[in-house]
A and B are shown apart, each in its own frame.
Chain A
Amino acid sequence: MGEDRNSFIFRLLLTLFVILAINFFLPRMMPGDPFSTTSADEVGEEIIVMTEEQRLYYMNYYGLDRPLHEQFLVYMKNLMTGDLGRSIYYKMPVSDVIMLHLPWTMLIVVGATVISTVSGVVLGTFSAKNRKKGSDRIMMTGLIAFAEIPSFLLGLILLLVFSVYLRLFPLAGAITPFADYNGPAEQAWDILYHAFLPVVTLSLSQLTGVYLLTRNTLITVITKDYIRTARAKGLGEKTVWNRHALRNALLPVVTRTGFMIGIMMGGVVLVESVFSYPGIGMTLRSAVVGRDYPLIQGILLVIAVSILICNLLVDKIYGKLDPRVVI
């Protein structure tokens, strides 16, 4: 056990190191640097054009003129003390920038995970119960076709239909700017109102996967001997499905949810951009455009770590759900 634990921690550290290295070198391999960008990210933003003198001054100020390996060592050393560095664009600590935007991303990712999992399981169960019937066929064909649409395209369509034409939802942002709330309920409502379309877009992109997995696993599980035993006990179809079949069918769904969060963390960049939703996805995009190395590094690190955490959690939860797994 102790042996296992040590090697586990070693593997975790190695993974982290590789991620850190990639995070560090990849942005620096892109052409350009933070001070020679000429393009503006957002329309209307003033373009600051620096003189060569200014540029060299800032490069020196941020230590970007030093050899790469030296920069990397400094980065690692600072990281040990919890210092992610300062954002060049925002002119404040990277951790503060992340803390400002991460909650929004968490909100829509967690929301989308919950919604797609719950509705995928519910629809999958319905389909499995009605397998080979019309309702199952229609639902399955429809959802599979639906899954072919890329999520940013889906987001654009939703934005056009519900925000631009129907004006049911906001065009951008996570809250109404300069709003004066009468109490937390109204504030919560405003947040949900803004998060709605991004969450729906993300959820829809994951729904089919969960649905198919639930349906197919259930169809296998329902032929098992223990289901026959449960039926023999006269427990009723509801108990048979919900307690005996679903509990077993949910095991692979849980594993999938872990991976799903990882996939969504990537997808969130596009979706947030489409809805101009101020999460770390959108922040990452502008950081890349502005070659804001410390910020890029910080956000990528956060994404990587959260994927790692999710996978760990999944293993833990799986172990709790399936008694046959020894952890």
Chain B
Amino acid sequence: MSLLKINDLKCHYLTDISTVKAVDGISFEIEEGEILGIVGESGSGKTTVALGIMGLLPENAAISGEILYRDELISSLPESGMDRFRWKDIAIVFQNGLEVMNPVLKVGVQVTEPMIRHLEISPGKARSKCADLFRTVGLDPKWMDLYPHQLSGGMRQRVLLAMALSCEPKLLILDEVTSALDAFTRKEIRDLLVDLQKEKGYTMLMISHDITFVSSVASRIAVMYSGKVVESGPVRDILVSPRHPYTRGLVHSTPDIFVYKDLWGIPGDVPAGEEFKGCPFRPRCTQKIDICNKASPVLMPVGGGREIACHRGGIAGLLEARNLSFSYRLPDGEYLQAVDNVNLEVREGEVLAVVGQTGSGKSTLAHILANVIRPEYGEVLFMDGNVSGGNYGNRVNGIQIVFQDPFSSTSNRFTVLDAVKEPLYINKIGSNGDRLQMVKNALELVRLPNTDNFLSKYCGELSGGQRQRVALARAMVMEPKLLIADEITSALDVSTSANVLRLLKGLQNRRGFAMIYISHDLSLTLKIADRIAVMNSGKIVETGNSHDVMLSPYDEYTKRLVGSRIGLCCHNH
């Protein structure tokens, strides 16, 4: 029997203008002694869930579904019936707001009050228990006689915690308990919670937008988006390999998890209020398909204690390379194994970096993946179709590649217009008028002017950075699902290359295409990559989450690569 069970809970706020579906059909269970975390952006409905459990929703909320506490239905109890469970069985620690405690009552009184009521003890006894509680949460009992406004935010949060613990509840709900605190106090509260849980075995429901905080305490998390749970499972698994595109965005935009990466939020906003058919994440999703507009995906188990709500079963695979091999024949008749039995996977919307020294076979691999050259062995599958048969480079939403050297991809004798239009022309996409507009759009995307004057310039007249952008526009005009960028910044000076890189990452984030970013420069790579594949002598020697590869490389070569980087930037090592 689980301690708390929630079945298809819906809480809709009825306002004058619209109905806000703050919680829209969520189900979960909490076992005795477990810590479940709920994470999600602000406005995703987390607080509403907490208030719903406590029976504290405001009058304008319509609630349906079931909330069972120890198999007893508590969701439809009247106020007085709910009071039987409040504080003794289920207590909540609210976020430390300005008025979360009564301003005219001493904090000690506010802590003892529920004890006197529920535990039926004398005020004197309650006071001495209160002093104990204060010590437990790290407060001097002398603060009991102060008023809330006389305490600091951190102290108030501790009082709120002491208050919640006062009747030794079976289930403790914590709503954003550290969000308003400084980093140091946050850590203290976190440690306190962990200790308390170990000692007393509290069952906790921990709610926060801060996935780092939640995952450092909880054992399981549920990710909420727009009133629904989109993914749930064991903390570690979700952090290491998020499966829902939203979860991935959440994890990747968290500085504590991705230490080296630049922060790129998840583009778009949480849809609020509107009548939403289909998947709520659709406007921000990079891998949506037709059905996503029509039906809302349901949360389904996918094994390993994980659940996902996505029509595509979570982040979908985009490209898969199996056993690729390729060798060059050298003038002396010897063969050079440039690509040696490489297996690789790229998922929707992710940035995979392939790093390795010059000559390690990265470019050859890139050419094979883009179907520029054919592998001797193995195959490349793009969206489940064979690349060599499917010609994905020649179609819209296919694969595009941008090369290291902008001078080779854009001929000096082409005007900007011709250079960008060429792929459309070759592949007979759009009418002439359409093409001009598409070129202009693509130029705007890469932040180049799209005036007639610029369009009629010859590529030979452009600077290196501009020319690389033209090459990028030439790829973007085909709206690729996968962009392969092969050392695109190595021919540029430092500041230009930083600009191009930012542009590229921005484009990727907004347009949601996947990218294989090939580079010999580990530092730059870390700024944009979600995953890293390390290549040495034609082989992929290590792949993983860029953060993990960076912090704990296991391959000798990778260690050297990482070490060389650290040696360069940190003089004291």
Residues in chain B near residue A239, CB distance under 8 A: 113, 117
Is there contact, CB below 8 Å, between A232 and B80?
Answer: no
**Bound CA span A228–B150, Å:** 21
Is there contact, CB below 8 Å, between A235 and B99?
Answer: no
Where chain A touches its partner, the secondary structure class is: helix
Number of A residues whose C-beta is below 8 Å from B?
Answer: 24
Residues in chain B near residue A323, CB distance under 8 A: 103-104, 106, 147, 149-150
Which of B83, B102, B149 has a CB less than 8 Å from the CB of A234?
A: B83
Given contacts A229-B100, A229-B102, A248-B102, contact A324 B79 (CB under 8 A): no
Given contacts A234-B118, A247-B104, A247-B105, contact A225 B84 (CB under 8 A): no
Interface assignment of A233: CB less than 8 Å from any CB of chain B: yes
Residues in chain A near residue B82, CB distance under 8 A: 234
- Name the CB-closest residue of A to B92: A232
**Bound CA span A183–B79, Å:** 53
**Bound CA span A244–B104, Å:** 9
Within 8 A of A (CB), among B73-94: 79-80, 82-88, 91-92, 94
Within 8 A of B (CB), among A208-242: 223-226, 228-237, 239
Interface assignment of A106: CB less than 8 Å from any CB of chain B: no
**Bound CA span A247–B82, Å:** 24
Is there contact, CB below 8 Å, between A226 and B114?
Answer: no
Is there contact, CB below 8 Å, between A225 and B94?
Answer: yes
Is there contact, CB below 8 Å, between A324 and B102?
Answer: no
User: How many cross-chain pairs have Cβ atoms below 8 Å apart between A and B?
Assistant: 79
Interface assignment of B56: CB less than 8 Å from any CB of chain A: yes
Is there contact, CB below 8 Å, between A226 and B54?
Answer: no
Given contacts A236-B80, A247-B104, contact A224 B99 (CB under 8 A): yes
Q: Bin the interface of chain B by size.
A: 20 to 34
- Name the CB-closest residue of A to B160: A229
**Bound CA span A61–B372, Å:** 127
Given contacts A232-B56, A236-B80, contact A226 B88 (CB under 8 A): no
Interface assignment of A41: CB less than 8 Å from any CB of chain B: no
Is there contact, CB below 8 Å, between A235 and B94?
Answer: no
Is there contact, CB below 8 Å, between A237 and B100?
Answer: no
Q: How far is the CB of A143 from chain B (nearest CB, A)?
A: 25
Is there contact, CB below 8 Å, between B88 and A231?
Answer: no
Interface assignment of A322: CB less than 8 Å from any CB of chain B: yes
Interface assignment of B390: CB less than 8 Å from any CB of chain A: no
Interface assignment of A160: CB less than 8 Å from any CB of chain B: no
B residues apposed to A, CB below 8 Å: 51, 54, 56, 58, 79-80, 82-88, 91-92, 94, 97, 99-106, 113-114, 117-118, 147, 149-150, 163
Q: Supply 29 A–B pairs (Cβ within 8 Å), ascending by A.
A: A225-B94, A226-B103, A228-B94, A229-B94, A232-B54, A232-B56, A233-B87, A233-B113, A233-B163, A234-B83, A234-B84, A234-B86, A234-B87, A234-B117, A235-B113, A237-B79, A239-B117, A244-B102, A244-B105, A247-B102, A247-B104, A248-B103, A248-B104, A251-B104, A322-B104, A323-B103, A323-B106, A323-B147, A324-B149
- Besides A234-B117, A234-B118, 7 new A-B residue pairs in contact (Cβ under 8 A), listed by A number: A232-B56, A234-B114, A235-B114, A239-B117, A244-B102, A323-B149, A324-B147
Q: What 3 A-B pairs are tightest by C-beta distance, nearest first?
A: A234-B86, A234-B83, A323-B147
